[in-house]
Structure 1
Amino acid sequence: MHDQFEKFVIWLENRLSQSLPGHEAQMLMMPKSADAKNFRINNRKPIKLGGVLLLLYPHEGKVFLPLMKRPEYNGVHSGQISFPGGKMEDDDPDLISTALREGEEEVGIAADQVKVLGSLTEHVIVASNFKVLPVVGYLDYRPEFVADKHEVDQVLEVSIDHLLDNQNRKEKELLVRGSYRLMAPYYDVQGHVVWGATAMMLSEFLMMIREG
């Protein structure tokens, strides 16, 4: 597996340096309104910058990546599945540093061990007024995850093969903010619904993998 994984990350680094599938690929997993109400969020404040980490590693003869379930709280992303990541801080020199720092703080991924391969297309999350850079990196071993009890309810490990399987790409109606019904494409990961921004960023990544 080690030789295959090494060839994979070499290919992926080269692919990420070329033209990306972009927003067209992301939009394949875009939720759509399921009723007559328009789901509008008016953010007058300046957009915030953030970074998320899409970390790849070998496990059980396959390539895996971690996702995390956020705790229930009074916020727009309560209980949702996401990549490790968050807001850019003043001490972060760039968004790659943000993604690596958040990966270490939230799920214990040693930032100085991650080899960065590149990034996907920036994604704007309207609900929380963020522009997010998905940073792609890898470890050549399975990390020991240590979840921050305040930020993370559960770490989910999922293989790329699972995400590529069309049987695990589904759609369901979701109730957002108690009144808006959305029809949301999603990835079924261990019974969890991976939708919204995370699914849209995954869609771009998986399109590249299919092409390769």
Structure 2
Amino acid sequence: MSKLDDLERVLRRAITRARHATSDFDLTPDVALPPQRRLRPAAVLVAVSQDGRVVLTKRATHLKHHPGQIAFAGGRKEDWDADLVDTALREAQEEIGLDPAAARVLGTLPTHETVTNFSVTPVVALLPPGLTFRPEPGEVAEIFEVPLSHVLQPANFRVEGRYWNGHRRQYYTLPYGPFYIWGATARMLRNLAEGAA
């Protein structure tokens, strides 16, 4: 069996076994969420190159939501998107210059609810090795890659916290070199790691 076969097997196992939806609040169960809140559909692309690296972005610092944070390429579903897979691929093309035809979609992870009232579907896809990405300067300050082997090690995740709306909110972090991966991105990666274990 080739390394590519092994990689695809690990990702498909993660998709199959990651059975529960996650939330920015699931480590802080005492936060009372408004029952009438309306979640908007969104999707991100969990893009993994065939040489085993996860593509992430550092968001531009001038953005209204999550400025300067580490994120997957992605965004809200637009009316013209056929489905959430289409949303993830469109956003990746806009944000990092990824040709949608280059992504081989393997499936989706369970949804993740964010503090900004999005229900995010992580779309897992394999990419050919050696692609060159182009950051969209209006949204993306930097594109970088993290080894999947780093992501899949539960010991690399930490639980940290800060105050949000008067409550101490806890969340996962996944430090990698100079990059502080936390919040929704770290939680979705943690779900991937738990499913792959």
TM-score, length-scaled by structure 2: 0.84
Give the alignment of 1:15-94 within 5 angstroms.
16=15, 18-23=16-21, 26=22, 30-32=26-28, 46-59=38-51, 63-73=52-62, 75-94=64-83
- The structure richer in helix per residue is 1
CA distance in structure 2 between the partners assigned to 1:15 and 1:168 by the alignment: 17
Q: Does 1:190 find its partner at 2:177?
A: yes
CA distance in 1, matches of 2:24, 2:195: 14
8 Å Cα contact 2:40-2:119 kept in structure 1: yes
**Structure 1 counterpart of 2:111, one-letter code:** E
The offset of 1:140, in angstroms, is 2.6
Q: 1:57-107: CA deviations, max 9, x gaps?
A: 133xxx101111112236341221111100111110000000011011101
Q: Within 2, Cα distance between the matches of 1:70 and 1:163?
A: 20
2:14–2:192 contact (8 Å) kept in structure 1: no
**Are the equivalent residues in 2 in contact too, given 1:52–1:134 (CA < 8 A)?**
yes
Query: In terms of Rg, which structure is larger?
Result: 1
Identity %: 27
Q: Which residue of 1 aligns with 2:149?
A: 161
CA distance in 2, matches of 1:119, 1:149: 28
Contact 2:154 2:193 in 1 (8 A): no
Query: For residues 28 and 135 of structure 1, what CA distance do their matches in structure 2 show?
Result: 18
Q: Distance in 1 between matches of 2:23 and 2:33?
A: 19
SS of 1:128's partner is coil
For 2:14 and 2:105, locate their aligned partners in 1 and report how far apart those are by CA, in whole Å: 13
Q: What is the TM-score normalised by the length of structure 1? A: 0.79
